[in-house]
Chain A
């Protein structure tokens, strides 16, 4: 049975990717909010925000983009929960579970689909950012590192999204969990440097995962030394990933027996 795990997952991933291809609006919707924020912050607030020195030669958009990318992922994974929720509601998962397929392939298919969909949304957002003047002189290796961090972040949030996708009672419940995740970047170094924030807020901002991830990506794109921040970012992503994946798998097992 486990020997089929890969081919079963591939078949089911193909299925949900087809869903997305047939209604690409979810990918576009995912990109709209971050693009809107980007426009707002660059053209309305940007002039008034002092990001301090050492931010690189580019404008505010270079400073802003890493946080915008994380917001894109945070809003993208609400569709992951939504798709999984709809699947669990309909009879189709039950059909799959009564077939001789690898049990975990249903979940893995959703996780891989989420990864692909989010990457496409990210490419869209980076494309708009380039049009708005974002520039980076980062080399292939740095971009690869950025992609790696983003992939880890997508996977970590995707496994979090699987939990409401499996347990929610309503469609709204399945996607509402992502609002606080979308909000987290605002309480981080994503939009303004943390040292401008009042005490407790600053403490929170400096010690929550988004700040270290944003700072790492920002440094990589600005060709600056990344330092320990990158390891903290990776530790956060991996930690969340492992905990959420274990919890989600346990819930799934209990649910489908």
Chain B
């Protein structure tokens, strides 16, 4: 399934633009994701994270620019891209009327794996859903649904996994579980592109962090690189380690006015 490993980055996005009617959302996005790494795409509500993920997952077509996943162009060879990827959308896409196991078996059959039943049972176990596996998904808690959703995405061993806000709406414990899963995934060689609004999540999980703001990637680097971007003068007055939050707000300038009224040095 992961037979041929192609050269080059797992994901390469260059100059991607996308507007909905007259609303420009992506205005020239460039991004590269190395194979086997976790990249967090960080951005506030409406920044265009989902739009970018949908373009990469072949659900939307870009107005301009090119994007390749596993070396395959998403616009010209979407069918081949779909062989290489899997998507866990922003809103859990499980079938409420089917049991957890039936959901997994269905995806297994659609992905043409050899033995969908065994694959399903293994995933139920891995995601601590064995007991709940025989219940219909509408009876699941938010965390269980998300786990099932992610488990469904792992069938067929996709090389690149897109997780759109995988932990939104989860309690801290469920969030930790998702984080563990993502880390395991990357350890096994899968490339993960996840979007999040939680700076903490990006900080915890990602090898590299890309901030999407006003339609462009305004920074892309490791946590250390991002922290180094903070203006030094500000760093003097900050006693604790600057968090990604500080970097984010310094770069997007969203907290400026608040800072002024609080009389913080700038």
Most central of A12, A14, A97, A98 by chain B CB within 10 Å: A98
Q: How far is the CA of A18 from the CA of B95 in the complex (A)?
A: 11
Residues of A within 8 A of B57 (CB): 98
Residue of chain B at shortest CB distance from A11: B109
Residues of A within 8 A of B111 (CB): 99-100
Is A8 engaged at the interface, CB distance under 8 Å to the other chain?
Answer: yes
Q: How far is the CA of A7 from the CA of B106 in the complex (A)?
A: 11
Contact A11 B110 (CB under 8 A): yes
Please tell me the size bucket of the interface on B.
20 to 34
Please tell me the size bucket of the interface on A.
20 to 34
Residues of B within 8 A of A91 (CB): 89-93
Is A257 engaged at the interface, CB distance under 8 Å to the other chain?
Answer: yes
Residue of chain A at shortest CB distance from B82: A100
The stretch of B30-38, B58-66, B205-213, B249-257 that contacts the partner chain = B58-66
Q: How far is the CA of A244 from the CA of B131 in the complex (A)?
A: 45
Contact A257 B98 (CB under 8 A): no
Contact A15 B98 (CB under 8 A): yes
Residues of B within 8 A of A242 (CB): none
Contact B92 A96 (CB under 8 A): no
Contact A95 B87 (CB under 8 A): yes
Residues of B within 8 A of A96 (CB): 110
Contact A22 B91 (CB under 8 A): no
Residues of A within 8 A of B61 (CB): 257
Contact A15 B87 (CB under 8 A): no
Is A253 engaged at the interface, CB distance under 8 Å to the other chain?
Answer: no
Is A19 engaged at the interface, CB distance under 8 Å to the other chain?
Answer: yes
Is B178 engaged at the interface, CB distance under 8 Å to the other chain?
Answer: no
Is B226 engaged at the interface, CB distance under 8 Å to the other chain?
Answer: no
Contact A92 B79 (CB under 8 A): no
State the Cβ distance, B17 to closest chain A Cβ, in Å. 17
Is B41 engaged at the interface, CB distance under 8 Å to the other chain?
Answer: no
Asked if A99 meets B86 with Cβ closer than 8 Å, knowing A1-B79, A4-B112, A11-B109, the reply is yes
Contact with B along A92-123 (1 / 0, CB 8 A): 10111111110000000000000000000000
Contact with A along B145-173 (1 / 0, CB 8 A): 00000001000000000000000000000
Contact A95 B89 (CB under 8 A): yes
Contact A90 B110 (CB under 8 A): no
Give me the interface of B with A, judged by CB distance under 8 Å.
57-61, 79, 82-83, 85-87, 89-98, 102, 106-107, 109-112, 136, 152
10 contacts between A and B (CB under 8 A): A11-B110, A12-B110, A14-B106, A15-B106, A22-B136, A92-B93, A99-B82, A99-B110, A257-B58, A257-B60
